[in-house]
């Protein structure tokens, strides 16, 4: 699968209804976009090792999935849990759709591999256990 770069801070901010001029949480959102990209990679790693995206709709779906995952994380951060659940459901539906399309392609079925990517995470600086 690789280190996909699917989501973007700008698209996530649009999805969340945050004005582009509001840059207060840009660093947080950027970290969540990275985690969204890795989540997409991890969820599709069991289906293919490398993805030659020939279809614009699959590319759009990968971007959408990553952006929905990042939006889910940000919504949890802001404690809007119902909204986070909605983003997660859309993410799951999108990934399932991609998996269904990929397994319907005969050449992809023969290149199934399993790999797991590490999540991009970092410890909280305020965690007293780390001091």
Domain annotation covers residue 58: yes
Domain annotation covers residue 126: no
Domain annotation covers residue 3: no
- Decide: pTM greater than 0.85: no
Q: For residue 117, how many other CB atoms are within 10 A of its CB?
A: 17
* Structural domain containing residue 99: 9-114
- Please give the structure tokens belonging to residue 51: 């993805």
Counting the structural domains of the chain, the total is 1
The SS3 of residue 7 is coil
Domain annotation covers residue 1: no
Domain annotation covers residue 120: no
pLDDT digits (tens), the chain, 131 positions: 445 789 999 999 999 999 999 999 999 999 999 999 999 988 887 665 555 555 667 788 989 999 999 999 999 999 999 999 999 999 999 999 988 887 776 654 444 444 555 555 555 555 555 45
DSSP codes joined into one string, 87-127 = HHHHHHHHHHHHHHHHHTSHHHHTT-----PPP-----TT-
What does the alpha-carbon distance between residue 92 and residue 63 come to, in Å, rounded to a whole number? 13
């Amino acid at each position: 699968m690789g280190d996909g770069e699917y989501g973007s801070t700008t698209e996530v901010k649009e999805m969340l209804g945050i004005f582009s001029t509001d840059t207060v949480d840009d660093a947080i959102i950027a970290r969540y976009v990275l985690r969204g990209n890795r989540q997409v990679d991890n969820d599709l790693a069991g289906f293919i090792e490398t993805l030659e995206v020939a279809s614009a709709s699959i590319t759009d779906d990968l971007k959408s999935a990553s952006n929905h995952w990042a939006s889910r994380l940000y919504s949890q951060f802001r404690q809007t849990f119902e909204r986070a659940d909605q983003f997660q459901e859309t993410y799951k539906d999108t990934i399932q759709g991609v998996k269904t399309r990929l397994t319907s392609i005969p050449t992809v079925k023969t290149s199934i591999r399993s790999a797991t990517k590490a999540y991009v995470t970092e410890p909280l600086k305020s965690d007293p256990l780390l001091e």
